[in-house]
């Protein structure tokens, strides 16, 4: 079992045995590797100044995923390949084409945010995506710039979109780093960091260490290290367990392993699941989606976790497992038991989540209300699935986040809908019933009165979407 962190950095094999595995990748790059091109702007995964790219050889090409280095613990890159802005220069020291495009297009100015933007451009170009405005803006959503305005940056992205992916070789340091991703444990300072690569090993570790942090992507837990400067005593990183990486469909059921990232899940959220996909694009930037997982969202159980009301609306099942009791299934309705408290036992881990894909005739939609469109925490998130037959509501699941100590269904509002005509008067009664379902807290994201008003208006908007197709586009732009 290895006791040092091994990875590839800018095409060079690295072995790190003298650093805490729980320190952020950003801090290690700047303080130990002295690669100071990667900047700290917010330490919260919002601004993108610390963007680096994780690379993986797939089918002779290199998959490039941008991530926020401020949210990544050093132990998470064991067996991975990392590229920073310094790693883009050519063998002769010449700048990369994305750097040339941004400089020649006057998209740099003060330069503080530029390295992160460069890395997002690099990942976008490597993906071979067409230079469509929606894709460009999606790729830039995780990078904030206070100087230039975004027009020259967008134009630079359009120029480099045709560069295509880098080639990779099985004999490269990239492959060597992945070969190093064996089951291992590293201890640096006060922190022990385990990275099991089998389910049995994970379950044994969890049984023996119920107080350890279970780390999937780190987009929530990582904040405790980067922003709050917490030093965990023990971290168990679950991303290397194959059983937690399952992503499959059987009939109308989709199974999502607890360690599946939103980036991997997103292509499966199409068709009747498209509203879920649209929400995931707003849940976080590409940097967040490259790391964040549904299992992690369930594990932290935040009342404003964006995917959780969607899982409630879809009637998901959470499959959990422990070394002593084996596996069991928890209906999502029974999973949340209090503020950031769940039905999980201390030695259990989340293995997978199942949910039903809605019928094309079902009404399924998701709305996120926040102070800005991208990279913001929800004030209210609503998710709804209804079955309407012959103009009458037969079933209804309405779920909201940001309205209570936990994500929760609006059962009084549901009762006001079921068995009634899908009509304006019925929806109005359901909107009024929300006051019996929730007593929201006041905070800086919104008052209780505001949140109740928003939730009611979201139901009214849902009705307009379905009853007035001619208004659907206008309604969605409100």
When pLDDT is cut at 50, 70 and 90, the band that residue 179 belongs to is: low
pLDDT value at position 272?
Answer: 96
DSSP 1-13: -B-SEEEEETTEE
Is the pLDDT at 205 greater than 90? The verdict is: yes
pLDDT value at position 111?
Answer: 86
pLDDT value at position 373?
Answer: 86
Contact at 8 Å (CB) between 289 and 262? yes
When pLDDT is cut at 50, 70 and 90, the band that residue 147 belongs to is: confident
pLDDT value at position 477?
Answer: 46
227 exposure class (CB count in 10 Å sphere: 0-12, 13-18, 19+):
middle
When pLDDT is cut at 50, 70 and 90, the band that residue 187 belongs to is: confident
Measured between alpha carbons, how far is 349 from 258 in angstroms, rounded to an integer?
9
At 357-396, the pLDDT tens digits run: 999 999 999 999 999 888 888 999 999 999 999 999 999 9
Q: What percent of the chain has pLDDT over 90?
A: 78
Measured between alpha carbons, how far is 281 from 288 in angstroms, rounded to an integer?
10
pLDDT value at position 396?
Answer: 98
- The neighbouring-strand residues paired with 342 are 336
Is the pLDDT at 180 greater than 60? The verdict is: no
Contact at 8 Å (CB) between 192 and 233? yes
At 211-255, the pLDDT tens digits run: 999 999 998 888 888 888 889 999 999 999 999 999 999 999 999
Helix, strand or coil, per DSSP, at residue 194: strand
Mean pLDDT over residues 248-275, rounded? 97
Is the pLDDT at 207 greater than 90? The verdict is: yes
Q: Choose the weakest-confidence range: 49-63, 294-308, 311-325.
A: 49-63
Report if pTM > 0.85. yes
Is the pLDDT at 169 greater than 70? The verdict is: no
pLDDT: which is higher, 372 or 167: 372
Is the pLDDT at 174 greater than 90? The verdict is: no
Contact at 8 Å (CB) between 59 and 8? no
pLDDT value at position 164?
Answer: 60
Q: Where are the beta strands (DSSP E) in 357-410?
A: 363-369, 380-389, 392-401, 408-409
Is the pLDDT at 348 greater than 90? The verdict is: yes
List Cα–Cα distances, 24 to 8, 44, 48, 224, 344, in angstroms. Answer: 16, 12, 15, 11, 28
pLDDT value at position 61?
Answer: 76
Is the pLDDT at 264 greater than 90? The verdict is: yes
Is the pLDDT at 282 greater than 70? The verdict is: yes
Measured between alpha carbons, how far is 59 from 61 in angstroms, rounded to an integer?
6
Is the pLDDT at 145 greater than 90? The verdict is: no
Average pLDDT of every residue of the chain: 91
Contact at 8 Å (CB) between 292 and 219? yes
Q: Choose the weakest-confidence range: 58-62, 87-91, 294-298.
A: 58-62
């Amino acid at each position: 079992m290895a006791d040092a962190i091994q990875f590839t950095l800018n095409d060079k094999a690295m072995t790190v045995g003298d650093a805490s595995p729980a320190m952020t990748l950003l801090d290690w790059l700047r303080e130990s590797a002295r690669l100071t091109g990667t900047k700290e702007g917010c330490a919260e995964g919002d601004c993108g100044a610390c963007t680096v790219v994780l690379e993986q050889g797939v089918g002779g090409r290199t998959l490039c995923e941008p991530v926020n280095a401020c949210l990544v613990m050093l132990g998470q890159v064991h067996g991975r390949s990392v590229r920073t802005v310094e790693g883009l220069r050519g063998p002769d020291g010449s700048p990369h084409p994305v750097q040339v495009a941004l400089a020649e297009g006057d998209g740099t100015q003060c330069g503080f945010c530029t390295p992160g933007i460069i890395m997002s451009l690099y990942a976008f170009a490597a993906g071979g995506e067409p230079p469509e405005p929606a894709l460009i803006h999606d790729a830039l959503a995780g990078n904030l710039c206070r100087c230039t305005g975004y027009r020259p940056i967008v134009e630079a992205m359009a120029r480099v979109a045709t560069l295509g992916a880098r080639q990779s070789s099985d004999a490269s340091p990239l492959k060597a780093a992945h070969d190093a991703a064996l089951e291992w444990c590293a201890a640096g300072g006060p922190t022990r960091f385990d990275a099991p690569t089998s389910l049995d090993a994970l379950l044994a570790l969890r049984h023996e260490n119920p107080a350890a942090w279970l780390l999937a992507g780190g987009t929530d837990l990582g904040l405790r290290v980067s922003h709050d400067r917490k030093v965990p005593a023990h971290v168990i990183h679950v991303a290397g367990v194959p059983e937690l990486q399952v992503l499959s469909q059987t009939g109308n059921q989709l199974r999502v392993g607890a360690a599946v990232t939103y980036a991997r899940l997103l292509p499966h959220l199409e068709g009747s699941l498209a509203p879920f996909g649209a929400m995931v694009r707003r849940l976080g930037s590409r940097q967040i989606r490259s790391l964040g997982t549904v299992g992690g969202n369930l594990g932290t159980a935040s009342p404003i976790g964006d995917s959780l009301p969607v899982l409630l609306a879809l009637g998901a099942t959470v499959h959990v497992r422990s070394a002593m009791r084996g596996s069991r299934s928890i209906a999502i309705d029974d999973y949340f038991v209090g503020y950031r408290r769940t039905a999980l036992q201390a030695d259990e881990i989340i293995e997978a989540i199942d949910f039903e894909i809605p019928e094309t005739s079902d009404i399924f939609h998701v709305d996120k209300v926040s102070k800005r469109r991208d990279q913001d925490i929800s004030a209210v998130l609503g998710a709804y699935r209804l079955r309407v037959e012959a103009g009458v509501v037969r079933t209804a699941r309405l779920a909201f986040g940001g309205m209570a100590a936990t994500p929760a269904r609006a059962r009084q509002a549901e009762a006001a809908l079921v068995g009634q005509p899908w009509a304006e008067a019925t929806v109005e009664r359901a909107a009024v019933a929300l006051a019996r379902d929730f007593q929201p807290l006041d905070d800086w994201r919104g008052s209780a009165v505001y949140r109740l008003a928003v939730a009611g208006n979201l139901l009214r908007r849902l009705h307009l979407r379905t009853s007035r197709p001619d208004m659907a586009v206008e309604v969605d732009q409100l």
